[in-house]
Amino acid sequence: MKIDGYTRTCGLIGNPVEHTMSPIIHNTLSKRLGMNLVYVPFHVPDGHLKEAVAGAFALNLLGLNVTVPYKSEVIPFLKDLDPLAEQIGAVNTLVRQEDGYKGYNTDILGLYRAMCGDDVKIEGENVLILGAGGVARAVAMLLAQKGASRILLLNRSLDKAVCVAEEVNAVAGRRLAEAMPLSDHRKLPEGERYLAIQATNVGMYPNVDEAVITDDSFYQKIHTGYDLIFNPSQTRFMKLVKDHGGRAFGGMKMLLYQGIIAYELWTGAQVGKELEEEIYGRLTKAMEK
C-alpha cells in the first residue's frame, strides 16, 4: 500500500481496540478499490473521548468508527446526527463534515443488510430479543421500523427491559414491545414460533460454552436464531437453535456490512458482491487463527 502526502486516514476509537478485525475490512477495501486511504485503531483511555474526537478532526481524519464503551458517550461531541442514530441513541461511525463529524449507526444497518442476505424476514414476525442493553435497544428500534408484529424483550433485570419496551412503543406509536423476566421464558405459549435475536455478550470468546438460556423447551419455539456475537463463529445459542430444527446465524456478516456501509459513507464508493465475499472470507480465516 502506497502512503504519501495525499493518503487519507480513518480509524477506530474505543477502549480496548487491540482485538479489532476492522482493519481487515477497510484496508482490503482500499487496496481493491484503489483508494489512497488507510485504517488504524486508536486506543482512547477513559476520560479522553472529547479530546480524541477534536484531535481527529484537527488532524484531518476522514472518518472514525466508534466501539465500546463510547457509542453513546460520543454523541455530545458531534456536530450532526443521523435520524436513525438519534433514535437508537448510539453511534458507531463518524463522517467528516465541514465543521465537525456527523454520527451514524451502521451497526444496525449492517444487521438489517445481513438479515436480508440470509433471507431472515422481520415484517409480521413475533420476535424475542435476549438482553436489554444498548445493542438490544437498537435491535428493537430496527424491528419496530421494519414492521415486526410483536417484540418481547427477555432480560434478567426486568426494569431495564421495561424501559426499552416503553421507548420502542413511544417511537412506534402503539403497544408493540413488551418486557419479560428471563426466568419466565417457560411461560411463552406453546405452539408459537419466534425469530430470536441474541443481543448479549453471553457466549462470546473465551466463554464459548455459555448461553443465556439452555432449556430445550425454549429452543423448540425458535424457527430462526440470530446471534450478534461473531467470535466464535458458532455460539452455543446457535448450536441449540440448530439442534432443535431452527436456522441459526452469527454476527460475522453484521460485522462485515457495518464496516462496508461505513466505508461507503466515508468515500462514496459502492462495494460489489464479489468484494464483499472476499472480505468475508478474510474475516473468517482471521477468526480461525
3 belongs to a structural domain: no
**134: confidence class by pLDDT, cuts 50, 70, 90:** confident
Q: Which of 71, 102, 221, 253 is catalytic?
A: 71
Same-domain status, 199 and 80: no
3-state secondary structure 137-192: HHHHHHHHHCCCCEEEEEECCHHHHHHHHHHHHHHHCCCCEEEEEHHHHHHCCCCC
- What's the number of domains the chain is made of? 2
Q: Is a pLDDT exceeding 80 seen at residue 1?
A: no
Residue 282 pLDDT class (50, 70, 90 cuts)? very high
Q: Active-site residue 2, yes or no?
A: no
The CATH number of residue 40's host domain is 3.40.50.10860
Instruction: Give the pLDDT score at 258.
Output: 97
Give yes or no: residues 35 and 51 share one domain.
yes
Domain extent, residue 145, equals 109-250
- pLDDT value of position 111: 96
**ω before 76 within 30° of 0 (cis)?**
no
Task: State the pTM of this model.
Answer: 0.93
pLDDT tens-digit readout, 230-279: 999 999 999 999 999 999 999 999 999 999 999 999 999 999 999 999 99
Q: What percent of the chain has pLDDT over 90?
A: 94
- pLDDT reported for residue 2: 85
Q: Convert the pLDDT of each residue in 36-52 to its tens digit.
A: 999 999 999 999 999 99
Mark whether 158 and 122 lie in a shared domain: yes
Residues 99 and 116 in one domain: no
- Residue 141 inside a domain? The answer is yes
Is there a single domain that holds both residue 239 and residue 117? yes
Residues 194 and 168 in one domain: yes
CATH of the domain at 154: 3.40.50.720
Tell whether 1 is covered by a domain. no
The reply to whether 24 falls in a domain is yes
C-alpha neighbours within 13 Å on the C-beta side of residue 100:
14
- Alpha-carbon distance of 190 to 162, in angstroms, equals 24
Q: Does the structure show a pLDDT above 80 at 180?
A: yes
Residues 61-107: tens digit of each pLDDT: 999 999 999 999 999 999 999 999 998 999 999 999 999 999 999 99
